[in-house]
Amino acid sequence: MQFALTARQLFQSGCRSQLQSRRVDAAGASAAVALAIRYRKYCTAAPAAKKPSRRGYIVTCAVGSNAKQQRRQPAVLSDACADLQRRFGRDVAAMVESAARPAKPGQLLLLPGGLGRDADGFVVDLCVVGIAADAEHGGLAERVTAGAEPLEPWEARDDRRSVVRQAVTALRDLGCRQVMLDSGIAPSGAENADAAADVAEAAQSSALVYRRAPPKRPLVTDDADADETAPTLIGRIHGNSGNNSEAWDYGLTLGLAEARARDLMERPANLCTPSWFCQQAVEAAAALGPSVEVAVHDEDWIRERAMGGLLAVAKGSKEPPRFLVAKYNGRPESLNEGGGPAVADVCLIGKGVTFDSGGISIKPSANMADMRGDMGGAAVAFSSFLAACQLGLPLRLALCVPLCENMPDGAAVKPGDVIDLAGGRVTCRVDNTDAEGRLILADALHFAANSGAQPPRLIVDLATLTGAIAVALGGQRAGLFANRSARLTGFERRLLDSGFNRGDPLHQMPTDRRYRAAVQDRSGLADLSNIGTPDRMAGACTAAAFLSHFVPPSIPWMHIDMAGVMDSDGGGGSGGGKKMSGRPTRAVVDFLRSLTIEGFPAGK
């Protein structure tokens, strides 16, 4: 099966590192089918690339799920191992036993060069994954001990993703350019389609890690060998996809989308400027065809529309601001539905601060380099938008991304300044220039709700908005805030379900009117303050309440504060190591897809 890649679908990757040990403990055992996908790198005029020198195979070894079973039951290698023995003339079983096979589910055994060289002269590495012999669903065992609560279904599925990430990452770090999966990692059959999607997504995302590229190098790719360090998932050793090829392809798209968002977030701020980000959108749209339109608006356009928040934040930087607007029409037959203009089903908005120094209210120097990822909301919104286009979802989507830098300068906005927002309709006192994200989002939300003949049926904004959400939820979940319209129509519940379904969970946060009152300006100089109550308590809730002032209550609106999951230190399963995570791309894409399967709520 071929999976069609479009330009700018994959991103720069490849960092090499030496493994510190041969055995890696992963949480849980797992399951998957194996199909093939080629990662392709784009070059304007691609030079002849060197052939990759290593290939990796991932096979399974069934072991007991507890100590008693592990003593009584011998380990059983999958049928794929017999295939490898015939092909390479090696006694794989003896080799695994002599190297201390995986002793428990979720454990990996890495054998660099264990299969020698293949007919093409590639060094062949072997990774053996321990799965539980007695568990349901292809070897996934619940890790239950006395007094412990059993795993939630989504947690068990996340174990499956975790072990695949571990295996692919181990081979990637050895330098494997091609990786093949044993279909014994997961069962086949339509009832196990989720397992296929889980493994495809985890493998695809884990195969990519950001590597510094020349400033002018494009992002994506139809040249398979332009980057010899980026792993390729090719073919399967044993078994077939059964009825799960569609689910597998969907998982690949999710993995690519997360990798794309992660790569954008990881790029240094001197490379990923507002103008550069917009250029990626223009090139991606050109590759996707006439169903996608992109417009990049400059500072004069922004000033004409009195977007005072975006102009104020950008004042301290030499990089000019940009406002990116993209539209995707997945339902061309309804362009003139009812005789009037088409209404966007969903408008995605992403905070695009490509570097956040804090401005005059400057941040501490420690970890300031991480603020290259403060455009994570823009990266996730853009990647989710592209994934929806690539999936061909029958939706009408809009994308709005305000882009700028937040820097200190003689011209920068100062604490205590009063600015106009939302076309001059609201005044705001800037009490802290490091609370800049809500200022540019206010303009974007107002534009999204009022620029068309009719408002979108749903607005979703994403932003690395507050450190308070990381204090509240850590790095495990993003915070989800929804207005009453979004709750009553069921949009909030569906997005929460999609987060759990894809192992990218969000947590419901409060948005009642008491938080809205907290952001009223008490100086008498303006309508709102950008930091809320003086004691700064409930910072994530007051930030969301600030944004709610710019969305009419009749329009369903959801806000995702993703600051806690911006990088992968807190867990959550990105394939990028302790770097930017690309979350919650999987949750957003799955939510958009669910709208096409379950339909929009009545009246929406």
Average pLDDT over residues 142-160: 63
What's the whole-model pTM score?
0.84
pLDDT of residue 93: 85
258 close to 585: Cβ distance less than 8 angstroms = yes
Domain with CATH 3.40.220.10 in the chain: 51-209+230-242
Query: How many beta carbons lie within 10 A of that of residue 112, not counting itself?
Result: 18
Residue range 258-598, CATH number: 3.40.630.10
Beta carbons within 8 Å of 274's beta carbon, 6+ residues apart:
319, 320, 321, 322, 352, 354, 403, 404, 405
pLDDT of residue 532: 77
Per DSSP, what are the bridge partners of residue 460? 348, 558
Beta carbons within 8 Å of 562's beta carbon, 6+ residues apart:
376, 377, 380, 462, 463, 464, 465, 469, 478, 479, 583, 584
Query: How many beta carbons lie within 10 A of that of residue 215, not counting itself?
Result: 10
Helix H, strand E, coil C: the string for 498-511 is: HHHHCCCCEEECCC
474 close to 570: Cβ distance less than 8 angstroms = yes
**φ and ψ of 450, to 5 deg:** -125, -5
pLDDT of residue 183: 66
- For 526-558, what is each residue's pLDDT tens digit? 999 999 776 678 999 999 999 999 999 999 999
Q: Decide if 22 is catalytic.
A: no
189 close to 137: Cβ distance less than 8 angstroms = no
Fold annotation for 51-209+230-242: Leucine Aminopeptidase, subunit E; domain 1 (3.40.220)
Distance (Å) of CA 12 to CA 19, 40, 137, 167: 21, 10, 35, 20
92 close to 77: Cβ distance less than 8 angstroms = yes
Q: Number of H helices and number of E strands within the chain?
A: 18, 19
- For 375-433, what is each residue's pLDDT tens digit? 999 999 999 999 999 999 999 999 999 999 999 999 999 999 999 999 999 999 999 99
182 close to 167: Cβ distance less than 8 angstroms = no
Average pLDDT over residues 468-495: 96
Among residues 414, 404, 400, 419, the alpha carbon closest in space to that of 360 is found at 414
Domain with CATH 3.40.630.10 in the chain: 258-598
Beta carbons within 8 Å of 158's beta carbon, 6+ residues apart:
28, 503, 573
In angstroms, the CA 587 to CA 509 distance is: 17
Taking 70 as the threshold, does the pLDDT of residue 260 lie above it? yes
Taking 50 as the threshold, does the pLDDT of residue 589 lie above it? yes
Among 38, 363, 487, 494, which one carries the catalytic annotation? 363
179 close to 547: Cβ distance less than 8 angstroms = no
Among residues 428, 358, 442, 355, the alpha carbon closest in space to that of 400 is found at 442
Among residues 119, 194, 189, the alpha carbon closest in space to that of 158 is found at 194
Among residues 477, 564, 581, the alpha carbon closest in space to that of 208 is found at 581
- For 332-390, what is each residue's pLDDT tens digit? 765 444 445 568 899 999 999 999 999 999 999 988 999 999 999 999 999 999 999 99
- For 190-233, what is each residue's pLDDT tens digit? 567 888 888 888 888 887 766 554 444 444 333 334 444 455 56
| CA dihedral sign of residues 252, 258, 263, 266 | negative
Per DSSP, what are the bridge partners of residue 389? none
Angle of the 245-266 helix axis to the 193-206 helix axis, nearest 10:
30
E strands, 316-393, are 322-329, 346-350, 352-356
Average pLDDT over residues 438-450: 97
Query: How many beta carbons lie within 10 A of that of residue 589, not counting itself?
Result: 29
Query: How many beta carbons lie within 10 A of that of residue 93, not counting itself?
Result: 16
DSSP 190: G
Among residues 464, 278, 208, 441, the alpha carbon closest in space to that of 355 is found at 464
Q: Decide if 165 is catalytic.
A: no
Among 372, 438, 457, 579, which one carries the catalytic annotation? 438
DSSP 194: H
Per DSSP, what are the bridge partners of residue 57? 126, 180
- Tokens representing 193 are 């389609």
